[in-house]
Every structure is written in structure tokens, then in C-alpha cells.
Structure 1
Amino acid sequence: MSSLPRSTPQDQGLSGAALDAFVGALDSSGQEIQTVMLLRHGHVVLEDAWSPYRLTDPHMLFSVSKSFTSTAVGLAIDAGLLSLDDTVVSFFGPDELPETISDHLAAMTVRHLLTMTTGHSKDTVEALSRDRRMVKVFLGLDVEHEPGTVFVYNSGATYVLSAILQRLTGETLLDYLRPRLFEPLGASEATWQVSKEGITTGGWGLSLNTESLARFGQLLLQRGVWEGKQLVPAEWFEAATSKQVPNDNEANPDWQQGYGFQFWRGRHNTYRGDGAFGQFCLIFPEYDAALILTGATFDMQAVLDTVWDHLLPVLEGKEVTPVTKPDRLELPPPSGPSPTGGDGHTYRFAANEAGLSAVRLDPDGTGTFTFAEVEQGSHGSYEIVCAPGGWREQRIPGVSRDAVTEPGQRIVTSAYAEGDAFVATFRWLETPFVASAACRTADGQMTIAVNLNVSFGPTTFTVTSTA
């Protein structure tokens, strides 16, 4: 698969200076952007990465995954394997269904899973994560409302779509999509998290690089056609990206414009797949354009506001506010004095939120941090060295799971002193996650104050070594 064609902005009817101003606005927005790519008329007219991030690295996409699950459902419907009106309970046996099937559960259909109108009063994903048998847990939950009447964003619903597809095809969602979508698009790097019960997670867990996600965006613009072949039925993408249900109970304006089949409608006649902390595949049908962003922010609305203020006028051919684009786009390490030498002792930690199992601060001012393997999404136990100065790049080794070897991933680190603390910073470059760890020793123990840039849980906590 060749790369997407490149073009000057001018050849695709856009101002290069205005696109530079858009990148400058992203850079100065206060929201961390890691990569950006803009397609116009099928050509890449803008591509940038904030060092040490790279456009070619896979990136964790979180709920952008849902739009790919929707695509798989569309393919399965086209193949005659299921329909939108099939009931959810019809796909599962007595070992997974509750003893008593409520009227609301009995009425729940594939359409309700796709449109987040299952009838649950809150996202089911937290309940699912408490038990290995996630499908059984989902089916056993109370369905408080009549399906189809209330929009509640529900990643558990997408997980069940993945489970249904696996039952019907005999393949995981990733394996089903490889020959039908990922290979034709050239997304050979695609990986997708698998649950403890062996089901592709569906609603989250997909990793792709920026250009592969851009190819998916172009496929959407081309209504499912790729290199002359209809990969996905045009009718499916038309329905999936249209407003199927209202969602004006959501908080932010770009999340109140309607919901399709695992796609959000947005302002300015746009639609998108989006994922936690600023992952976007944003489609502008009127302007034959697709914008891909990866980043790390809690305020995704602020990112979209920057797009409306600084990119939409470019597409409309209007004057834009000039914003200077830096000569170099980068996310530098925190600066400070070099740490003083440590005692060389290895401090060990019980299981904790940071995943740290041991830390050693050496007399030469470097620190060695050992991260313990966790059950899901880890790359095994590994050591990472932190030292003062610029980013130090290392590679977390891959691990084998179920006869499949996961690739390793890049990480960069740096360190500085803050009073008596050795402060280490870690950037896992295939994710949005950045952690700082301020290490202090006293009375034979080490205490580490951990700060995370973004998280689904607490962003600050403290861990203390065992005696």
C-alpha cells in the first residue's frame, strides 16, 4: 500500500500560510497536540508531529475504535449475518443470559447497541470491567429504560457488538477486519486489545498510526470506495454518519448534534470518530476534507473550538487570524537542575496505580524504574532509565500473548531535581500518557508523588516503598 498522495495546499485550493497559522493555533492552544494531518481532495496538504512524537508510530485511539466496530457491523449486515433489528439476547445462550429476561432486555436490538440507546442509565463499561465474563455481566444488568428512548454513551454496548460479531464470524473483530478493511487501507500496524474472555474490546483498544487513520477518513469521504473497490457499502456509511438519535442531553455543543452508528455528528455539518484525551477523525463532507488529530487533553471541546476558529475559515476560503507557527514543533522535557546522586539502594513497591515495582537512584544522578506487568495492556515487566538532559529514548520490549507477539513501543524520559526530590518524567509515545514521579527518600523508605497528565482515574497519588 502506497502512501496517500501529497500536495501543496495551494494545488488543493487552500492557503499554505493559513494552514501554518492553524498549526500555530494548535500549538498555542494550551491543549497538547501530538500529531496532525489534513486531507483535501484525497491529498495530504498538512502533516506535522510535535517531537518526540512521530506520524508513523501507532497511537492508542480509545473510542475512535467504535467507528471501526460500526464498519465491521455494516460489513456483517451486508454479508447477511445479522440485521439492525435482531435482538441482542438472540445471539447468546443460557450460560450467559440471566434466568429472567426483562421486557427491556428482550426488546434491545443491534440498532440500540449501535446508537447508544440500550436503555441503561449509565455507561456499563465499569461494571463489565469487574468480571472476566463481560458479556454475562452486561446481560445481567438492569435495563432501566425502554431501549430506544434515552441516549447514554455506553462503551459496554460496543463491546457486546464485538462479541456478537465474534459469535457470527468465528473470528475476532480485528481478524475479521484485517482482509476487509485494514489490509486494503495499508494499516498493517493495527493492533486491538482483547478482553480476558478473548473478545476484541470493540469500544476501545485500537491502535493505528496517523496516516492509517487518515486513510479511514478518506474512505469515509469516498463513501466506502478504495482504489476503485467498494470496501464498505455506501449505504452503511451514509446511515452510520447521519443523525440516528438525538443526544442533546450531552454537555458540550459538539456532542449535542446527534449520534449515528458509533459516529458523532458535529457542528458545521461535520461528523467524526473521537477518542478520550483528544483523538479525532473529523470529516468535513462539504469541503472534501478530513482532519486527524492525536493528543493529550481533558478538554476535547477546546480542541474542536480551535478547529472551528482557525481551520474552518481556511476551508471556507475566508481570512484567518494570523498565528505564528514555531520553527520547531516539540514537547520538551521539564527543565531544572540536575539531580544529586542517590544511594544506589533498590526500593521495592507493592502493587500500585503507577505499576512501579522497584526504583533505584544511583550516585551518578540517574534513576532506574522497574514497571511491573499488569493483566491488560502491558508490555511485560521492564526497566526504564531516567537521566537529566533532553529526552532519552528507549524501547519497551514486546511480549507474547496467546501465541501472538505484541510489538514493543517507544518511551522517552528525562529527569531533574526539585529540592530534595528526583523528578522523573515518562512519555509513552504510542499513547497520550505522560507521568512525572517525584522521588524522596527518608528513614529507609522511598515515597513517590505521581502526577499523570490525563487519566480515567485520579491524576495524582502517592506510593511508598515496602519496608
Structure 2
Amino acid sequence: MPTQRPLLPRSAPAASGMSSRSVAALLDRLDARSVECHSLMVVRHGHVVAEGWWAPYSAGRPHLLYSLTKSFTSVAVGLAIADGLLSLDDRVVDVLPDHVPAGISERGRRLTVHHLLSMTTGHPADSLAEAWRLEPGDLVKGFLRLPFPEPGGTRHAYDNSTTFILARMVERVTGRGLPELLDERLFTPMGVDHAEWDRVASGAAFGFHGLHLTTEAVAAFGELLLRGGLWGDRRLVPREWVELATRRHIDTQQVEGWSDNPDALCGYGYQFWMSRHGYRGEGALGQLCVVVPSHDLVIAVTAAVPQGEEILGAIWECLLPGVDQAGSSRDDEILAERLRRLSFAPVPGLAAPERSVTARLDASAEDSALPDGTTVIVDPVDGGWLLRFGSFLDVEAGHGEWRETSPLGRPVVAAGAWQGDTFVAELFVITTPHRVRLVVDAAAGTAVATWNAVPLTGPDLALHLRSPLMTRPDVA
């Protein structure tokens, strides 16, 4: 796990004009509605005033950001534009001519950087799955092969392919990989030394998802934006780009299949969402970087929730009223202690150190993490268990405590217990929002292993324990 170096100064909530009771009210709301958060950081006037991680998640651990990654790609585009290598009016067909299909439509030929950034390319919905189906080895060409029913710039449709293409355009004009460019121009100057990227099979970073950062790095990114691209006295991002990227360029509409969310209807910038207050970068399952300039406030969240509006609603209704309502030092102490104690409870039950079991996995559940028929062996080892999944994966689990192993390169943190004739374990893929619940019925000799939320890049557990994750994703 990377060494954690503070990126932002700390202060008590009261010292920065923030009510500890409002943070506590936010936590109460999340608890009452069973919202699964993994971390929370609140920054006011440039100081971290509240921070907490639900163990086994922890401060130094990068967390998959899903589509919050898009906002970082936007900054990379802004850097390329500031360097004079790219412009908002540059067309895809001119920057990436080797990816242009024969017979491309006139509307496809007219698509520009502005259209990609604002997701106003004329596709009616996300094109990713169909574009990759058409051209498994060339998403850009697959995207351009699809029909464009509407003229560019007229209607917003959330589309992952647009950000992938932006990443490739930045790489073409700069001669640098997206991760290397952002390391040099953004992360290293900020002191962020633990950015990790998932990649497609060719080795290129997705651009539209796949960045892993610590919660503090996400909060620091929000603070950088809040300061107009300044980090201390150093200009990292042009102020003009921050202002352009984080203002509304197009109205947004209710997306079919997404839950009703007032913040989803506030408009879209350049790979940033507008909010009822300020703006945000947002990723699937509740990865958030919320910036509220009117209150000099940044909130970073990692989570595993079906939709982010539960968290946003709690921020607006519980946290925001506490701005400029500082409480007492005793309130601050109570909150700090509560934040220190945040945790997922290890699996309840007995150790039964003499018991072992062998079972066959039943993968009939839609969200199964392992192939059907996989042999599952539970053997007691050193006050916990060694969990063997076929011949390809061994994971250690603790009893009453979390135990960490990295069987395929990425860490998994697990705990388990016997509950009568059933062995139960929780396996956290700890650099992601995802975990697997293993239930072994010793009497029946069967086991199931199901995700809390199936990863957007597929259900195969082994895939998500490899580093870097490299795949062609099937993203709905």
C-alpha cells in the first residue's frame, strides 16, 4: 500500500467555520438509509475538517473512481489546448485520420473536441457497447461508424466513447500517454504519487474510467479546481480552462434506466456535471468530487451505492446548512471519534479451527463472481482460513479481523466465520467499490459467491484482482 503523504492541511471544523453536527447529521442520514460509503472527506477554506474511512477501507488506499476519471481527462484536454496542440474546433477526423472508417457520414466528419467534451455528438445514447461490437480493436472507428441521428452540439447524451476518443486525441497531439501526461503536469506537482490506471487490452488507459486515487487526492483535485487551477503558488491548470470546463454547456435530460435525480438535470460542462450547488465529477456507485465555490467547500466520497443522489441529497440537506455555523470544540471531538470508529463489521460467527470443507460453486445467480463448478476449499490457517478457488486463486480470511493478501497482484481483504453448518466470508476487492460474499453450505457441499454490485467491466473475480486490470469492458 502506498505511503500516505498529506496533500492538504487539517483543522478542526469549528476553526474553518463548519458545524461538526452537520457532518454527524450527514453520517446519520447515510446510516438510516443504509447508504454504503467507503470514505468521506470535507474540505473548507482549503483545510480538511472531517475525514473518515469505513474499515477495511483506509486513507492510503487508492479507490476506483469509475467515471469521475472523465474529469481528469478533461484537464488533460485543457493542458493540450493551453500548449497550442489542440483546439475546441479540431475535428476527430483530422486528429485521428487513421481511425476514420470508409463511408463516414458528414455529421461524423464534423465532430469536434467541443462536441466530445460536452457529449453532444448526435448519438441518442451511450455508444460504447455497440461501437466496440462493430470494431473490437478500434473503438474510435466503431464510434464513427455509428449513425448520428442529430447534428453535433444540439443534444446531450451521456456517452463513454467520447472520453475514450478525447484521451486518444490528447495522446496523439502530445506524444504522451494519458497517465504519463497527468503524472507530469498534475499529479507529481500536487504530491500525488499513487495514481493507478486500468487499461484496455492494447495498454491504453480507458480515459472514461479506470483511474484509482486516494480520497485525499480526489479532494485535492477538487481544491485545485476551486482555486482556479492553482496549487499553492504554482499554476497547474489554466484558470480559463477550469472556468470553461466547469460551466454548463448543454442541458441534460432524464436518462432511461437511471433513477430520478435533480442533480442529473442541472446541465453538463466539459466532462463535469453541474449540480444544484456548484459542480461535480461523478463515477458509478457514488464516487464523487463535489465543488461548491459559493461556500469554499469540497466534498470527496467513495462508495458503493446504486445511484449517487442519496449522497448528494444528504450533502445538500444535512451538510450544507452547517456552513458558517461552527459549533463547540466538544462537538469537534465527538465527531472526530465517530469518524475514527467507522467500520464494516467482520462476519459474525465462530472460528471452529478444526473444521474444513470442500464444495462446488453454483454460479446460477446473475451476479456470480466465479465460474460454475469451481472447487471451493475452506481450510483453517493461523486463526483464520485459506480459501482456495480452483487452482487459480487463494485468498486468506481472518476471524474477527480483516486479513489482506494479493494473490494476483491487487489486494483483497477478507474476514469470515462459521454460522452453524454454513461458512460465510466477505472478500473486499479493496481498491474498488466491490466485494464478494462467499457462502458455503457444508452439509450440501455447495457454495455461492456473489458481488455486492457487479463491476462494470464484468463479473470475473480473478480479472479484478490482476494489476493492471486490462480488458475490453462491456459497459452498459
Tell whether the structures are fold-level matches, with TM greater than 0.5: yes
Equivalent runs, 1:133-152 vs 2, <5 Å = 133-152=138-157
Question: In the alignment, which residue of structure 2 is the partner of 1:378?
Answer: none
Q: Distance in 1 between matches of 2:195 and 2:296?
A: 25
* Alpha-carbon spacing, 1:140–1:448, altered in 2? closer, same or farther (3 Å): farther
**Alpha-carbon distance change, 305 to 135 in structure 1, aligned in 2, over 3 angstroms:** same
8 Å CA contact 2:359, 2:440 repeated in 1: no
Match of 1:402 in 2: none
By how many angstroms is 1:338 displaced? 5.5
Computed over aligned residues only, the root mean square deviation of the Cα atoms, in angstroms, reads 3.0
Look up the match of 1:361: 378
CA contact (8 A) 2:397 2:413 kept: no
Stretch moving more, 232-241 or 165-174: 165-174
Give the CA deviation at 1:396: 1.1
Task: Name the SS of the counterpart of 2:97 in structure 1.
Answer: coil
- Are residue 370 (structure 1) and residue 363 (structure 2) matched? no
- Equivalent AA in structure 2 for residue 89 of structure 1: V
- Is there any run of 5+ residues in structure 1 with no aligned partner, and where? 373-380, 400-407, 462-467
- Retained in 2: the 8 A contact 1:58–1:207? yes
Report the alpha carbon displacement of residue 206 of structure 1 after superposing the two structures with TM.
0.2
**What letter is aligned with 2:389?**
T
C-alpha distance in 2 between matches for 1:73 and 1:457: 25
- Give the 3 Å change call, closer, same or farther, for CA 33–107 of structure 1 in structure 2: same
CA distances 1:425-463 after superposition (whole Å, capped 9, x unpaired):
2112211112112234688xx5433332122579999xx
How is 1:7-406 mapped onto 2 (pairs within 5 angstroms)? 7-94=11-98, 96-130=99-133, 131-250=136-255, 251-268=260-277, 270-315=278-323, 317=325, 327=338, 328-336=341-349, 345=358, 354-355=369-370, 358-362=375-379, 366=385, 368-370=387-389, 381-386=392-397, 389-397=399-407, 399=409
Q: Which has the higher helix share?
A: 2
- Offset at residue 397 of structure 1 (A): 4.8
Distance in 2 (alpha carbons) for counterparts of 1:243 and 1:180: 26
User: In the superposition, relative to structure 1, how do residues 193 and 459 fare at CA in structure 2: closer, same or farther (>3 Å)?
Assistant: closer
Deviates more, 1:22-31 or 1:301-310: 22-31
Structure 2: stretches of 5+ with no match in the other structure: 461-476
Aligned to 1:414: 416
Q: Any idea what the Cα deviations from partners look like across 1:394-428, whole Å, max 9, x if unmatched?
A: 121564xxxxxxxx4342232333x6443322112
Match of 1:404 in 2: none
Residue deviations 1:49-106 (CA, integer Å, cap 9, x gap): 1122112210110011000000000000011111111111112234x32110102211
> What is the deviation of 1:133?
2.5
- Residues 436 and 450 in structure 1, CA contact (< 8 A), matched pair in contact too: yes
In the alignment, is the contact (CA less than 8 A) between 1:341 and 1:366 conserved in 2? no
Retained in 2: the 8 A contact 1:271–1:283?
Answer: yes
Of residues 65-74 and 432-441 in structure 1, the stretch that sits farther from structure 2 once superposed is 432-441
Question: Is the 1:411–1:427 contact (alpha carbons within 8 Å) kept by the matching residues of 2?
Answer: yes
Are 2:396 and 2:403, in contact at CA under 8 Å, matched by a contact in 1?
no
What is the total number of aligned residue pairs between the two structures? Answer: 436
